Amino acid sequence: METRQQLLAKHREGWSLDQGFYLNPEIFDFEKEVIWKKSWLFAGFTCEIPNPGDYITYSVIDQPVVIIRGDEGEIYAHHNTCRHRGSVICTEESGNEPNLVCPYHNWVFAKNGALKNARQMEDGFDKESNGLHPVNLKIIEGFMFISLSDTPPRFETEMANLEPYLKPFRFNEAKVAFRDRYELDANWKLVVENFRECYHCGPAHPEYCDAVVGANMLEEREEYWQQKHNEWKEKGLAVGIVDSTVENGNYIIRYPFRPGVDTYSIDGRKVAPLMGDHKDYDNGVVGLLNYPNIFMDCVSDYTWTMRITPIDTLHTVVDLIWLVDGKAEEGIDYEIDRLTEFWVITGGQDWQLCENNQKGIRSAKYASGKLAPSEADVQNFHNWYIHRMK
């Protein structure tokens, strides 16, 4: 297979990536070091761990992490590996524990990572220097981001523009209504690329095109979009586009539904109570991403979030979370089937597209192809990616 340097030399801006970027294990190993270990990665929401002792775990590129709520409401992130002989400490995806206890030899760590008890160790054993290794953790509006790097990029620079879009949803007070997980036979970059363009929406997503003006790439939308932006400004909502650059991997936009559509549902009607501070359902969609691993669509009554985790060159896990307002009650204010139906259908279409793409890229006849003008955001991702791979 071609080396990284050869692939970079061949890459042409405005064209799809060469085959080796998707298939070469050495490329994937390099990505782990320069992208997945150095970026800020979305790990979860603070509302997933509302009580002292609540924790979630997240393993990315073979690095297990545990995030736990402290007794005073503080949140800690640790490498989920015992300082004794390295066993994973928290073996479940979530739970509640008064302390973090290694299942192997019962070393006991406090929520803040300090070693409290090392069973049957000799007198004078230095517990203070054997606490859990911390993981860099930053929180913005209820979103928890981690970095596995000892010198992560400046978080405030990357995230400063997102806050006004996120604040009205009050994610720190939200509630997880539903989770789902898919294991895709596709390289992680194909998943990112798929969610960075709507060139495929007309052929593949009839339900999505029924909801969003211009998604089929056939309609004039600028006048209607500007009208809605003006209305949203008068309501005090953040509008416009925050675009990602080679240095900054986040993108955010507010865009409108078709007239008469309230939310992402099959019939366009609302499926849950308003989230956070929203006063009505005419707030459009806040679409957000942060390279390399979070994509989400926030509507007035719920939020759909996708977390991307690469397994190897050919396999990717996508974890999906549906959030609703913290006061909403299942069976009274929302029904799971109706809440999730739109994205179960639309997401299922996307998963098939990604897997079909991976199968085709494995062909001996695959060659880099010219991107369409409407795939400019795919090029945007490629620029961000290539910048890190050099």
Question: Which pLDDT does position 161 carry in this prediction?
Answer: 83
Q: What is the pLDDT of residue 260?
A: 96
Q: For position 154, what pLDDT does the model report?
A: 87
The ranges assigned to domains in the chain are: 41-152, 157-389
- Name the stretches of the chain with pLDDT < 50: none
CATH architecture of 157-389: Alpha-Beta Complex (3.90)
Contact 174, 323 (CB under 8 A): yes
41-152 folds as: Rieske Iron-sulfur Protein (2.102.10)
The whole model's pTM is what? 0.97
Same fold, 41-152 and 157-389: no
Q: What is the pLDDT of residue 158?
A: 66
User: Residue 44: what pLDDT?
Assistant: 99
